[in-house]
Structure 1
Amino acid sequence: MRTRTRDFPGADRETNERLTLDVARDEEAIIHEILELRRTNPMSLEAIGFLLGADPSQVSRYLNGTSSVTLTNYLRIARALGYRCRIVLEMADIGPRNTPPLDLRIASHKVINARRSPTS
């Protein structure tokens, strides 16, 4: 999926890989649920594309996971199928083998101006 190219540049390599994989799995779950909605409530890609103002082939790429998609477009596809989407945010797993959760607080630091003022 294209999501895996979106990384977390502020994290170390191992954490970056873990978080990127988690995001990819979440996106796969969204796509899976939308595909299930299409199976139970058949609607052509042309009809969905018409409602979204997109080409049917673009909608297909969204649902195949081969094109970068915003969360808004997933919500719009679900709405076109007659469903509302509710997002539930859950506490993320701590990580492999007792790894503490990420501390995402930014420590205070002194900013040094790189430009030097001219000396008199």
Structure 2
Amino acid sequence: MNAEPQLVTATAYALGGESAADIDTGGVGSPAALVARLSETGWTAARLRAFRDTCRAEARRWPLTVPAEIRAGAGFAQLHAWVRQCESLLDLDAVDAGVRDHTRPFDREDLRLMNERPPHHGDVG
């Protein structure tokens, strides 16, 4: 069974950006098959890990937010599940476990959350 091409493309985009999303989606029916296809096209776990680390060092979110035109037709929950499964298969989710890495700079989302704290919480950070 093959997955919807939009789901596969959107998942690849979330993991590796535009160039990762250019893979052939034919015959990919599971996150494991997507991980294999990404590896075949040069997007190995090491390359994706380096991409993740670069994004975080530049205070950008990873996995990437998938533009609406790329994820059109793919359900949000299904996309989220695929991305998380791929992260787990590639062992890219280990950094996210536990406490936030204090050496990672704040990104826009972190700053937004810090600015939305209730006034009675005082200064944070």
Q: Quick check: which one's helix share is greater?
A: 2
TM-score (normalised: structure 2): 0.20
Structure possessing the higher relative contact order (Cα contacts under 8 Å, 6 or more residues apart): 2
TM-score (normalised: structure 1): 0.20
